[in-house]
Amino acid sequence: MNNYWPEFFTVALVHLLAVASPGPDLAVMIRQALCQSRRNALLTAIGIGAGILVHVSYSLLGIGFIIQQSILLFTILKIAGALYLTWIAVQCLRARAGGIHVETETHTSQSSFAALRLGFLTNALNPKATLFFVSLFSVVISPGTPVAIQASYGAYMALATGVWFVLVAIFFTLPAVRKGFNRFGHWLDRLMGGVLLLLAGHLLLSTVSGAEPPSDPSSGMGQ
């Protein structure tokens, strides 16, 4: 294992830069933290971390390389991701005035499973995350690294991602933070909806333009 510490630290650094970059995961996480209970926000954070395991699994199996090389499969993935982001965006844009109140029926109607599923699908259907992990496992991680070691890298990234978004959830569920956003909570919802809609539109435009997936993991997964 000692021989792989330099590689691990490289993976950890690249992943840290990627997970902290703005993207669908962060937008959804902030909305959940401000508009849902802390429990639901934490479940969404756990779901995002669990979604990482999907990308790690197909990268280890070599399926990620097939997705990267197949224009059709990658296009389907981008369209699925764009449609899911659009659906979330519509929910945000329908927000009504009244500030952020987690006690209201609208906000507490989300079940624990729905909160967990939201985080999981947001990450699992993020095509930029697909590109990031395929590139990471093909460029940064040596093909000679044992599968068990590669799997441990993946487990670390899933855990680190979950911890990062748990911290985001805890911060944005602080009473003082919520109070600061309370007066314009519905506008924040709409802003998040607009951001997600732009991200979805970017995915669809890149599909139409036939943009090829990048091969450099330093471009980030835009979480």
List average pLDDT for each run of 10 residues in the chain, which is 223 residues long: 85 89 87 90 97 93 71 75 75 59 51 95 88 82 89 96 96 88 66 73 68 51 58
* Cα-Cα-Cα-Cα dihedral sign, residues 142, 146, 149, 153: positive
Read off the tokens for 139.
Answer: 């460029």
Read off the tokens for 75.
Answer: 């296009």
Residue 167 and residue 77: Cα distance in Å, rounded? 29
pLDDT for position 176: 87
pLDDT for position 105: 40
Q: Which of 24, 72, 6 is nearest to 198 (CA)?
A: 24
Residue 46 and residue 157: Cα distance in Å, rounded? 12
User: 21: phi > 0 → left, psi -120 to 50 → alpha, else beta; which?
Assistant: beta
Instruction: Give this prediction's pTM.
Output: 0.75
pLDDT for position 207: 65
Q: Is 57 exposed, middle or buried (0-12, 13-18, 19+ CB in 10 A)?
A: middle
Q: Among all chains, which residue has been given the structure tokens 């947001």?
A: 122
Backbone angles phi, psi at 147, to 5 degrees: -60, -35
Spell out the domain ranges in the chain. Answer: 24-219
pLDDT for position 187: 65
Query: Are the C-beta atoms of residues 41 and 115 closer than 8 Å to each other?
Result: yes
